[in-house]
Copies of this chain bind each other. A is one copy, B any other.
């Protein structure tokens, strides 16, 4: 999916919500556990009930890998089930020497069929480059993450700037606004205005809304640009909205709530012409 198509989806649906499928086998409703592939069944129902209210899905590979190759099979089935209208993100945080990153890019873009993959910047340009070389695919580089540990390295000072600022600046020269986004944690709203100065036109993937405590309004006030420029992800707040048989229905309701708030925010910011 290219930038124009992504923006098209956002304007059509009037939201910029991604639903995070961090599906933990131990956390899904008990009544689903007797089916052959409970995680896939759970994901399918979540997708059915939320697709109307979101523009994409983010799959956190960690939760699938914990189940071994069967988990990878579930991940493949889930990606295949996501409607082609929706943006598909592998939250995989890969990054290795060029030769290996090329294999990861193949894994996520070709074999699994994702539109985007999250990548860790530590190893530098040649570890990121192979992901950027795919047409109409996206590299979502870790910028400033929402966790406590961000203070250990990301927020360290290097001369005039912090490490994550150096990542944003350098990586902006490696890719373009057509193939590169950044992960900016929702708990970093206080820094978003500053971050927008470095990268005014890029999309940001913003995880951490809901369960991790980030505020949608604050992020949007500071982070929206003229093309929207935000993909806000909520995982647990949506997929675990209920642990009963109504889990999918409740997930849909929570997603609809986020979508409605996003609709208002897009309208207030003048990005969407209709409410």
Contacts and interface: CB of A to CB of B under 8 A. Distances in A.
A135 to B, nearest CB: 18
Interface stretch (A40-48, A149-157, A219-227, A247-255): A149-157
A68 interface: yes
Interface string A53-76: 000000010110111111111011
Interface stretch (A120-128, A192-200, A256-264): A120-128
Contacts of A93: 94-96, 120
Interface string A143-175: 001111111111011110001001100100000
A98 B181 CA distance: 23
Nearest to A236: B99
A157 B154 contact: no
A153 B68 contact: no
A62 B153 contact: no
- The number of chain A residues touching the other chain, given as a range, is 35 or more
Interface class of chain A by DSSP: helix
Contact of A69 (B73, B148, B153): B73
Contact of A123 (B94, B108, B126, B142): B142
A123 B145 contact: yes
Contacts of A163: 153, 156, 158, 163
B166 A111 contact: no
Contact of A122 (B97, B99, B142, B158): B142
A92 B122 CA distance: 14
A151 to B, nearest CB: 7
A83 B99 CA distance: 28
Max chain B Cβ within 10 angstroms of own Cβ: one of A91, A103, A112: A103
B147 A167 contact: no
Given A65-B107, A123-B150, 14 more contacts: A62-B104, A63-B100, A66-B107, A68-B107, A68-B111, A93-B94, A97-B146, A121-B152, A123-B153, A124-B153, A126-B149, A153-B166, A153-B167, A156-B166
Return the 9 tightest CB-CB contacts between A and B, nearest first: A124-B149, A124-B152, A69-B72, A62-B103, A65-B107, A62-B100, A69-B73, A126-B149, A68-B111
